[in-house]
Structure 1
Amino acid sequence: MELKETAATTATTATTEKMAENTNLIPALVHLIWYGIDAPSPTDHPNKKYSQGFASVLKNSNCQLKVWSKADCENLILEYPQYEGIYKRATNIMKFDIIRYLIIYHCGGTYLDADVLLRKPLSNITANECFFVEKIITNATSHESRYEPIRKGIPEHPIRIANYAFSSKPKNPIFMEILTEIRRRMHIQSAPKNDYDVLYLTGPDVVTTVVHRLASVSKIKINIIPVKISRNIFIHVSAGEWRQKK
């Protein structure tokens, strides 16, 4: 898929939907979420990882940029009342997780965390119907994870699927599966008791569980990008703000 370079914009949802009319393609659109809690924009944040990430998307993506404000996200969730309850109960970082899956389901395109450094245009990987990025965890980490109370003795999958960058055409059912799994987990425990619980309730562990499950039983096309390839395209520099302000 050829991606046409356009100026960055805080497009309205209507504009975003228009770009996604052809549901067989991934729109040439990058989504960032910015609630403006600590700074009005990524470029104003004292942690330079955000301004560097934002600048790299403007420079290298060859895509239109949509920055989702808190109001944008709240308006979108109203269109999916079945998930409004979990969104309202969630902490801010969990809200960011929930809404990113819904944004890509609703609009299509590529989601990037604001602290991702984009090194190359996205055209090569967004030619696929859907992509996620793998993160290999060590055997020790997988084993130790079973001692997290929320896991109830079940270790993590050794190939974790990250949620800081992913892409899809609109209306991909995988995101409904992810949101349904989040709702199931939050029904059991709605609030995190530690940082790991966030990863389990709404973050990478949910994506990992659903992607591996669907890859084995479903005809949904899912492309998992190996770390050795993804690190040449983007780097998650992990500003880590959420660990202090969940």
Structure 2
Amino acid sequence: MIPKKLHFVWVGDESKRPDNYIQSWAKLNPEYEIVIWGNTALAEYSWVNKKHMDAMYSRELNGVADLMRYEILFNEGGIALDADSLCLRPLEDWLLEPAAFAACEHEHIRPGLIAAGAMGAEPGNEFFGACVKRLSKKWRVTNKRAWKTVGPQLITDVHKETRYDLTIYPAHFSIKATIPVGNTPDQGLVSRINFGDQPMAMRTSREGSRPRVDGLLWSTVSNRQARCH
């Protein structure tokens, strides 16, 4: 079963990390542990594909986040989510039953691809292990966009070629839409996350604990907002 951990990756300018959105997951999912992976983790964790991450850092931070997510899910297990996604209601336990899951990309944006913004797995999952291994065998940082080299296209290719156990939900189970939100501090955009027919929220840290940030306990919530990584 997938462990009750929610992983958020935010590298680069941490002053722009959308802590208010991350906190929405913690508030609605108190039995989950929340782990935030930032610049310290990027520098100090034993990443298999660290060279790819370093090369991608100056190009696309969302690509760095994708690279980190595969190794996080393989090593730690849990659910990896885009940091600027907003939790709308608690996660239900059925989501934890598959060995691994992801969701389709929006059919009008990247039809036929598997999205990287909401994925879950048990520790040691073969599918995410295959993603890490595939990246380690070939240099992937090129002039192409990150989603084509280390993101959704990579995930989709690995799934087609390996057929490891991966539950793939329809697009509406994942990112419902990117919509303008008028009552947020920066009047910005927020991704609505769904796992079911209605918008769902995701749960966070275990009862009585606080989210971890790079191994530390995280207790502050800011109103800053930034783009999705």
- With normalisation by structure 2, the TM-score equals 0.67
Q: Looking at both structures, which has the greater relative contact order when contacts are Cα pairs under 8 Å and sequence separation is at least 6? A: 2
Quote the residue 2:26 is aligned against. Answer: 58
**Identical counterparts, % of pairs:** 21
Q: How does 1:30-179 map to 2 (within 5 A)?
A: 30-35=6-11, 37-39=13-15, 41-43=17-19, 51=20, 53-61=21-29, 62-78=31-47, 80=48, 83-91=49-57, 92-118=61-87, 119-138=89-108, 158-179=111-132
Amino acid at match of 2:103: V
The one-letter code sitting in structure 2 at the alignment partner of 1:73 is L
Q: Secondary structure at the match of 1:90?
A: helix
More helix per residue? 1
Please report the RMSD computed on the Cα atoms of aligned residues, expressed in angstroms: 2.7
Q: Secondary structure at the match of 1:159?
A: coil
Gapped regions of structure 2 (runs ≥ 5): 175-193, 202-225
Does the 8 A contact of 2:102 with 2:119 survive in 1? yes
> Partners of 2:147 and 2:85 in 1: how far apart?
18
Gaps of 5+ in 1: 1-24, 44-50, 143-157
Code of the residue aligned with 1:84 in structure 2: it is: K
Measured after TM superposition, the shift of residue 125 of structure 1 is: 0.8
Measured in 2, the distance between the counterparts of 1:76 and 1:166 equals: 21
Q: Aligned-pair distance for 1:184? A: 5.1
Cα distance 1:113–1:122, how it changes in 2: closer, same or farther (>3 A)? farther
Cα deviation for residue 160 of structure 1 reads: 1.5
Q: Is the 8 A contact 1:77 1:99 kept in 2?
A: no
2:169 to 198, 212, 225: 225
Q: 1:200 to 1:120 in 2, by over 3 A?
A: same
